[in-house]
Homo-oligomer: A and B are copies of this chain.
Amino acid sequence: MATAVAPATAAAAPAAAVRDDYEAMAKLLRDVSSLSSISGLVGWDEMTMMPEGAAESRAKMKSALAGVIHEKSCDAALGEVLAKLQAANLDQLNQFEQATVREAARDYKKLTAVPKELAQREAELESKGYQAWVKARQASSFEQFAPVLQEWVDLRREKAALVDPSGPVYDTLLDDFEKGMTSARLDEIFGEVKAGLVPLLAELRERGTPPSDAWLKGDYATERQADLCHKIAVALGFNLEHGRLDVSVHPFTGGAHPTDVRMTTRFKQDDLTEGITGAIHETGHSLYEQGRNLEYDGLPVNQALSMGVHESQSLLWERMVALGRPFAAYLLPLMREYFPSLPADKSAEELYGAVNVVKVPSMIRVEADEVTYPLHIVIRYELEKALIEGSIQVSDLPKLWTAKMSEYLGCEPESDARGVLQDVHWSAGLFGYFPTYSLGAMYACQIYKAAEADLPGLSDDIAAGKFGRLKLWLNEKIHRVGSLHPSGDELMKAVTGAPLDPQVFLSYLKDKYTELYKL
C-alpha cells in the first residue's frame, strides 16, 4: 500500500511474482496430469479388462476425456502464466523448476499451434488409416494402402508447417518422439550403424558358427511362464505396491502414475525365450515409470525425456542384462525350477549362446534380434525421411523397400504383407517414431558401460540374482532426472560423459558376436 518502497522490497517483489507464477502454472499442469493419468488407466482397462461389447461406449468416454485434456492443456490462463515466466529471470527457480517451465512452454506452443479442425482430421485419419492398413495387409496390396498414406504425408506436412514454419519438416515430426534430435544427427548416427552392421552381419552369416538353440525348443505351459516371469520382474525390482502384472494380447507398460504402473505380458507355449525377454523388456519400462521423481509429480520435468530414452531402459534390462553372460547363470536354475523337463546337461554358457542366435534371414522387424534390428530401422528411417522431404513418392516405397532389404539385410520380402506393410506405425501417421527404437538400443549400451564402470562387481551381482545396485543407479542417473536435460545427447553427456556414440554399440555387438560365432 505504501508508495515509498525500500530497494530490498523492490527487488523482492518480482521474485515473489515468479514464485507465484510458477506455482500457478504447476497447479494447472498437475490437474492436466491427473486427467492424463485417468486416460492411462482407461487405456490399460481397455487392453486387459473391458468386455467385448463395450467398444463403442469406451470410444465415447475416451473422446470426451481427450477433449477435456486438450481444453485444459490449451487453457489461455496457462498460456498467460507461461508467457510471464518465459519473460522473467528464473534464477531463483531450481534446475528442475526451470526445466518444467521450458518443457511446459514447449508443449503449450506445440499444442496451440494446431487448430481443433486439424486435430479432428488427424483423429479421423487414424481410424481410417488403421482400417485401410489392416485390409491392405490382409490382401498384401500396398496399392490399397497408398492413398491413405499419401493423406498422412500431406497432413503431417501441414501440421509441421504450423508447429515450426522454419525448420525441416521431418525434424519437426521427429521432435514429438525424440526431443532435441535432428535428421542431420540421425544421418550421422545411422550412417555409422549401417557401415558397421552390414559387414558384421554378412560375416556372421557367411563365416560364423551359430550357437545351438535347438535344445530350448519345447512345450512350456503359459501359466508357469507367467509365474516365472512374475518372480523375475520382482527380482529386478518391480514394486507390486505400486503396480500390477497382468496378461494381455499385446504386452505393454501403462497405467496411471509412478505409484500405479500396469505392466502386461504375453506368453507362447512354444517359445520360452520370447516370453522371458518380453517380460524383462516391459519390466525395464516399468522400473523407469516407478522410478520417476515424485518431488515433481505431475510436472513435465518428471516425464520421460523421450521415447528413445524410455526404450533405453527396457532394452538395458532385456539386452544388456538378460541377454548377457552373467544373467544366464542366474536364469538357468530358475528355468529348471519352473520347467524340470529342460535338459539337465546344459550349462549357463550354453543358455547364453542359445538366447543369442542371430535370426537370419530377417524379414520381420518385431522378430529381429539385436544385430539385425537396427538395419530394419535404418531402412524405415531412410524411406520415411525421403517421403516427408518429397525426394521419393508413396508409390516408390515397395520397390525401395525390397532394394534396401536386399542391400542391408541380404533378403527380399516375398510379399507386401511381409515387407512394406508389416508395421502399423505409418498407418497412424507416426513418422519419426522408428528411429527411437535403435536410439534406445544404443543409449542402453552406452549407459550400461557407464554403470559397469561405476559399479564394480556388477557382473557378479547379476549372476547371483542381485539387481538392486543397478536399479538404484538407474533410478538416480536416469529415472529421477526425467526431462531435466533437453535431449538424449545431453542426458548421455551427463550420465556417460559423452554424447551418443554409435561406435560403443557397434563394438559391443562385434565383440559379443564374433566370440559367440567363433570368428
Contact = CB atoms under 8 A, between A and B. Distances in A.
Interface of A: 30-31, 34-35, 37-38, 41-42, 45, 49-54, 56-58, 60-61, 63-65, 67-68, 72, 239-244, 256-260, 297-298
Contacts of A72: 68
B257 A51 contact: no
Contacts of A243: 51
A3 B41 CA distance: 56
A411 to B, nearest CB: 44
Given A38-B61, A61-B257, 10 more contacts: A35-B61, A38-B38, A41-B45, A45-B45, A51-B242, A54-B242, A56-B259, A57-B258, A58-B260, A60-B298
Given A41-B45, A42-B41, A45-B45, A259 B65 contact: no
A64 B242 CA distance: 21
Contacts of A51: 240-244, 259-260
Contact of A260 (B41, B50, B63, B258): B50
Contacts of A241: 51-53
Contacts of A297: 57
A37 B57 contact: yes
Contacts of A256: 54, 57-58, 61
A180 to B, nearest CB: 29
A49 B48 CA distance: 11
Nearest to A243: B51
18 contacts: A30-B60, A34-B65, A35-B64, A37-B57, A41-B41, A41-B42, A41-B45, A41-B61, A50-B260, A51-B260, A53-B241, A54-B242, A57-B256, A57-B260, A57-B297, A58-B256, A60-B298, A68-B68
